[in-house]
């Protein structure tokens, strides 16, 4: 990005209004459609069985056509609203992993000299696993929970300048909530641009409810809107900021959201996430914030999808009742029934203890079942953060124990991109496995979970090219042509564990 672009961002942030001039360059560089997935062996797959259950969505039916209006920001595909389109007439299937330090610096407890987060290396890591999406994390407190032990880490930078006079309770200068820090928004923009240049879409997280609802540090957290931590006489406890009852808080939230939008509105690879995991008291506030984002973007060159993620605890009904374009539910097998684009994130639906307890085979099965249910799998990746019992990175390398799920979600993308997802929709009845994406008479993608060797599939009679894929090894097995005379056909897997079968006319 050119220096003049950074200066432009800084000027806009100070004003907290106005639009961003286009920075030049292409939009989110399209997605690959390989002839075959690569021979990339999975690691650490233990034969632990398949503990995951769930139904796919309703029977396959072809939605009406989408004309396509040219490449640009994502929008819900009008033909198949389970997915997004970039306007080119092609569905964009999103899947990927994300980690807490990908925007704000996160210094672990007792280690002030820890090396900074290597963002370029993280993008390389995503590409290596065939991921094309991440959430860009924020944090609300400068001094907050680091892991399940209760240890506190230090987070920076923040959207407001720390000007003083006086000290906040984290021992640093108090915030001026009426002075946005241009450097924060410049960093955000640079990271979204860098992701765009690698073909990665980014959900910009505006607020972090978990940090304030479940880990509020009233004594030394330095929460910018907490009592004594700013020079503007704003004094609320953490969870209160999601209640929508304080006009002083609302004014600062609106200025901040406007500055975020000013910084990234001209970029095609942007989505917005209102907040990570508030409690149910924040539902009405989230609905208002969705409307706010849309109101601000309505007067700008581009409009981007707005998402609502699961409350904690909470009901998925709140998400489906929202006006959000996409949601991340509590249900690990929420079916893509077309009401919302579903980005099913293990951060909300399939916690790390359950993932670890179920084992690699079930993790892999979850990813493929999610694809065949008309949704997209995401992984909350601890990446390089050491965490007792959860993650053990060694020598600056991610813990390979999580490679199965990392690889599995990326491999679903390789097959999703070979389908016409404007026409292929989930069916729970065409196949005896119940995990099938189909455009009857044209193409079928079937997932056979571990524990089975045969399945039946209702196929329109004709000649198809078939391909067997081994999700455990990441290798293509047998391929060829098959002529099916009867509609109900029995298939036998060539693999000992789970299997994927692709049939295309």
> Of the candidates 351, 349, 280, which has an alpha carbon nearest to the alpha carbon of residue 321?
280
373, 402, 427 — which closes off a domain? 427
- Residue 352 sits in the same domain as residue 494: no
Distance of CA 164 to the CA centre of its chain: 37
Residues 423 and 457 in one domain: no
Residues of the chain with pLDDT under 50: 1-58, 65-69
Strands (E), 157-224: 160-167, 173-180, 201-208
Asked if 118 and 74 sit in the same domain, the reply is: yes
Residues 270 and 384 in one domain: yes
Whether residues 163 and 272 fall in one domain: yes
Residues 6+ apart with CB under 8 A from 114: 107, 108
Angle between helices 182-196 and 119-128 (to 10 degrees): 30
User: Could you report the per-residue pLDDT of 225-282, keeping only the tens digit for each?
Assistant: 999 999 999 999 999 999 999 999 999 999 999 999 999 999 999 999 999 999 999 9
What pLDDT was estimated at residue 59?
A: 52
CA-based Rg of the chain, rounded to a whole angstrom? 23
Asked if 124 and 234 sit in the same domain, the reply is yes
Looking at residue 15, its pLDDT comes to: 44
Say if residue 204 is in the same domain as residue 325. Answer: yes
Q: Are 453 and 422 contained in the same domain?
A: no
Q: Look at residue 346 in the predicted model and tell me its pLDDT.
A: 98
The Cα–Cα gap between 201 and 415 comes to 19
If asked whether residues 29 and 72 sit together in one domain, one would say yes
Q: In whole angstroms, give the CA distance from residue 375 to residue 378.
A: 10
Q: By residue range, what is the domain housing residue 292?
A: 3-427
Out of 403, 427, 451, a domain closes at 427
Are residues 162 and 270 located together in one domain of the fold? yes
The pLDDT, as a whole number, for residue 62 is 57
Which pLDDT score is estimated for 22? 29
User: Could you give the CA distance from residue 357 to residue 49 in angstroms, rounded to a whole number?
Assistant: 11
Tell me the whole-structure pTM to 2 decimals.
0.88
CATH number of the domain enclosing 37:
3.20.20.80
Domain count, the chain: 2
Domain end: 427, 453, 479, which one? Answer: 427
Is the domain of 48 the same as that of 68? Answer: yes
Q: What's 332's DSSP letter?
A: T
Structure tokens at 216: 């509020």
pLDDT of 110 reads 72
Is there a single domain that holds both residue 252 and residue 284? yes
The position carrying tokens 């009008």 is 78
Contacts of 19 (CB under 8 A, 6+ apart): 12, 262, 265, 266, 299, 300, 301
């Amino acid at each position: 990005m050119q220096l003049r672009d950074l200066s432009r961002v800084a000027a806009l942030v100070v004003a907290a209004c106005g639009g961003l001039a286009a920075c030049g360059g292409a939009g989110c560089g399209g997605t690959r459609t390989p002839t075959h997935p690569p021979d990339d062996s999975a690691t650490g797959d233990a034969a632990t069985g398949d503990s995951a259950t769930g139904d796919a969505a309703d029977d396959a039916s072809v939605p009406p056509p989408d004309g396509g209006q040219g490449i640009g920001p994502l929008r819900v595909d009008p033909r198949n609203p389970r997915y997004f389109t970039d306007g080119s007439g092609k569905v964009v299937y999103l899947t990927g992993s994300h980690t807490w330090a990908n925007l704000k610096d996160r210094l672990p407890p007792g280690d002030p000299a820890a090396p900074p987060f290597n963002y370029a290396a993280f993008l390389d890591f995503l590409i290596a696993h065939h991921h094309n999406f991440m959430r860009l994390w924020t944090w609300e407190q400068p001094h907050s929970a680091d892991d399940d032990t209760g240890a506190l880490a230090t987070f920076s930078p923040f959207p407001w300048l720390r000007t003083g006079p006086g000290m906040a309770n984290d021992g640093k200068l108090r915030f001026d909530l009426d002075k946005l820090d241009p450097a924060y928004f410049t960093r955000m923009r640079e990271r979204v641009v860098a992701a765009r240049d690698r073909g990665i879409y980014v959900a910009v997280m505006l607020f972090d409810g978990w940090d304030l609802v479940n880990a509020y540090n009233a004594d030394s957290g330095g929460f910018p809107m907490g009592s004594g931590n700013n020079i503007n006489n704003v004094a609320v406890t953490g969870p209160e900021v999601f209640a929508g009852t304080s006009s002083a808080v609302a004014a600062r939230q609106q200025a901040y959201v406007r500055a975020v939008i000013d910084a990234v509105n001209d970029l095609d690879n942007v989505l917005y996430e209102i907040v990570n995991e508030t409690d149910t008291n924040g539902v009405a506030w989230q609905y208002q914030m969705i409307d706010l984002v849309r109101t601000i973007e309505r007067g700008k060159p581009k409009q981007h999808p707005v998402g609502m993620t699961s409350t904690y605890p909470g009901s998925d009904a709140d998400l489906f009742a929202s006006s959000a374009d996409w949601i991340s539910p509590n249900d690990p097998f929420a079916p893509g029934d077309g009401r919302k684009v579903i980005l099913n994130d293990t951060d909300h639906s399939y916690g790390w203890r359950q993932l670890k307890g179920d084992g690699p085979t079930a993790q892999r099965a979850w990813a493929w079942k999610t694809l065949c249910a008309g949704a997209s799998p995401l992984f909350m990746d601890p990446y390089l953060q050491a965490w007792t019992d959860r993650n053990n990175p060694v020598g600056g390398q991610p813990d390979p124990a999580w490679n199965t799920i990392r690889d599995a979600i990326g491999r679903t993308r390789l097959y999703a991109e070979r389908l016409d997802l404007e026409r292929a929709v989930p069916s729970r009845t065409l196949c005896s496995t119940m995990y099938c994406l189909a455009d009857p008479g044209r193409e079928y993608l079937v997932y056979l979970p571990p524990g089975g060797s045969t399945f039946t599939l209702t196929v329109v009679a004709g000649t198809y090219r078939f391909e067997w894929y081994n999700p455990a090894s990441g290798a293509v097995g047998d391929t060829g042509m098959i002529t099916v005379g009867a509609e109900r056909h029995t298939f036998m897997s060539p693999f000992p564990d789970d299997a994927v079968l692709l049939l295309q006319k």
